[in-house]
Amino acid sequence: MKIALVSPYDFAYPGGVVNHISALERHFTKMGHQVKIIAPASKAVPNLGDRFIPIGKPRPIPASGSIARITISLRLASRIKEVLAEENFDVIHLHEPFMPMLCSAVLRFSTKAATVGTFHACHGSPGYGFGRPISTMMLKRRRRKLIGKIAVSKPARDFVNKYIPGYYNIIPNGIDVEHFSADVSPIDKFRDGKLNILFVGRLEQRKGLPYLIKAYKQVKQENPNCRLIVVGPGSRYRKIYERLVKHRGLQDVVFVGYASYDELPGYYKTADIYCSPATGRESFGIVLLEAMAVGTPVVASNIEGYANVVTHGVDGLLVPPKDSRQLAQALISLMSDESLRQQMGAKGILKAKEHNWEHIARRVLNYYTRILSEPPWNERIVEGKTVPLTVQQKDER
């Protein structure tokens, strides 16, 4: 099968959708399929060679409390048409298919391939028009071209269903359980007897780090032998958070900055507790699964995207968002009970295995196969009548 995976986001910049697409490409290729990734890129993308087709230059655009690095060029049509004609894909899989401009344009110009869309977001996106007449009309026209629809979670499905009603196959994000493994080694410099609380995420408001910093002050008073490790990019907010730490007189708070994909398992393994105090707008808790996969118990906000991953009291603890007092209490209770941490860590490993990328990729591929076996992709017109295609004719399409 010849498959195109299309990302609206800068493929040279790390992010959930980029990681998701990269994992699908690796596993589909391993299964023997021909896969190309189409995306904008701010610089060269290593390790993909001719399996990556760059289209458009991304620009940082503020969107819903974060930054979307997307291309907004209106001059993509000729390149898109050229690529689609040359590659002759069987399936074009668009991630956030109505995000401007690349995904939306590829959907517009795709005429031969079966088009599938995966919806990742559970909050406002520039792809849905927000009531603007031209954007709303365009959305109605192009949504009819989507043959298959996938949502990564129930919150993502419920959000997009308001704009594009219909059936959604829920296939969650996956995790590389060999990369994020309980067998990885911790980082030596942090293994000095202190209990480590870990935060991993972009340093932006909706990730909730200020609430963790406030909670950490109470935690530190109860248990002075602890440390907070903050991992994630974001120079602007880092300065603000560093000032907040200094203002509160907190000790043992370490800002690591950006950590590569290869470095992340070591940080999760170093942690005694992983904490994600996000305030909302999370469709899925991939960072929670990464921590759980290495056997680290989780304390997280009780928001929809996270509650779909963590079972409270089993593999982690959930607390109300923006509530530093209850966040501190959850951390303190887990820090004081090593046996409970070990039990939750063991349950987390089992939960993470359910989301093994090999299994998730197979589910997506089976969805492609089902779509291609149903009308109109398994039919042709002969003398005015619709008849099934043979396997050979499908291959020749």
Angle, helices 102-109/133-143, rounded to nearest 10 degrees: 50
- The number of beta carbons lying within 10 Å of the beta carbon of residue 279 is 16
Can you give the pLDDT at residue 171? Answer: 97
Measured in degrees and rounded to the nearest 5, phi and psi for residue 298 equal: -120, 140
Can you give the pLDDT at residue 384? Answer: 43
Contact 70, 10 (CB under 8 A): yes
Residue type, 265: P
Which run of H or of E encompasses 253?
strand 253-257
DSSP bridge pairs for 356:
175
**Nearest-angstrom CA–CA distance, 7 and 10:** 8
| pLDDT tens track for 6-19 | 999 999 988 889 99
Can you give the pLDDT at residue 136? Answer: 61
Can you give the pLDDT at residue 144? Answer: 82
Q: Which domains does the chain have, with CATH numbers?
A: 2-174+357-396 (3.40.50.2000), 188-353 (3.40.50.2000)
Contact 335, 228 (CB under 8 A): no
Low-confidence stretches of the chain (pLDDT < 50) are 130-134, 380-387, 389-397
CA distances from 217 to 82, 154, 207, 213, 379 (A): 58, 35, 18, 7, 65
| pLDDT tens track for 257-272 | 999 989 999 999 999 9
Residue type, 245: V
Can you give the pLDDT at residue 142? Answer: 74
